[in-house]
């Protein structure tokens, strides 16, 4: 079993990122920030995170637009989402993630927390720990991969599990 913590759209928050890291530091194999941190690429708060560039990352011009990581036996595609118009459709994102060989796509930009599966691809948007949309809860997610399933558990920035958003998917 392998776990990734996924956060996005923190928009300048520092203490919250540190608190979240401390809360889960012994249980996470991969740390992901899906962009719009509005921090510099060498910010200590992002230490250990695979971070990508969002449309508001003017200080972090060295962040890549995308990243590809392995978690257990699953390939994860990571991007912010603005380059794929994710507020309109996830189709372009799905095509790009498929091109990379990923079976999981992590993204942000819309600030809407969600996890769903379509045609064998699992999509995860952890929401925003600063400016949530679609819910009043400031959220992040923990992805857990094992041989038979993928689970995505959402948490409030205070560390409370949000069962109504959390999902489990069967995998091949």
CATH code for position 54 = 3.60.21.10
> Whole domain around residue 95: which residue ranges?
2-170
- The per-residue pLDDT for 148 is 85
> Could you report the per-residue pLDDT of 27-45, keeping only the tens digit for each?
999 999 999 999 999 999 9
User: Of 6-20, 81-95, 99-113, 135-149, which range is least confident?
Assistant: 135-149
Q: Calculate the dihedral angle through the C-alpha atoms of 100, 102, 107, 113, rounding to the nearest 10 degrees.
A: 160
How many folded domains does the chain comprise? Answer: 1
- The per-residue pLDDT for 147 is 85
The two tokens of residue 165 are 């958003």
DSSP code of residue 43: -
- The per-residue pLDDT for 157 is 96
Q: What are phi and psi of 10, to 5 degrees?
A: -85, -15
Q: Which of 127, 120, 89, 88 is closest to 106 using CA atoms?
A: 127
Give yes or no for residue 6 having a pLDDT over 90.
yes
Which pTM does this prediction carry?
A: 0.97
* 149-156 vs 161-170, strand pairing mode: antiparallel
Report percent pLDDT > 90 for the chain.
Answer: 94
Q: What are phi and psi of 42, to 5 degrees?
A: -100, 15
């Amino acid at each position: 079993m392998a776990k990734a913590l996924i956060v996005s759209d923190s928009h300048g928050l520092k203490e919250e990122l540190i608190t979240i890291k401390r809360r889960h530091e012994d249980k996470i194999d991969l740390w992901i920030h899906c962009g719009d941190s509005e921090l510099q690429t060498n910010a200590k708060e992002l230490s250990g995170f695979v971070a990508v560039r969002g449309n508001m990352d003017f200080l972090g011009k060295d962040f890549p637009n995308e990243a590809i990581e392995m978690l257990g036996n699953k390939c994860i595609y990571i991007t912010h989402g603005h380059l794929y118009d994710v507020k309109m459709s996830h189709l372009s994102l799905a095509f790009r993630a498929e091109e990379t060989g990923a079976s999981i796509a992590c993204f942000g930009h819309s600030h809407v927390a969600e996890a769903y599966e379509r045609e064998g691809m699992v999509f995860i948007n952890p929401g925003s720990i600063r400016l949530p949309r679609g819910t009043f809860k400031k959220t992040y997610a923990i992805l857990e991969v094992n041989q038979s399933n993928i689970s995505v558990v959402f948490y409030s920035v205070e560390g409370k599990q949000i069962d109504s958003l959390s999902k489990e998917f069967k995998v091949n």
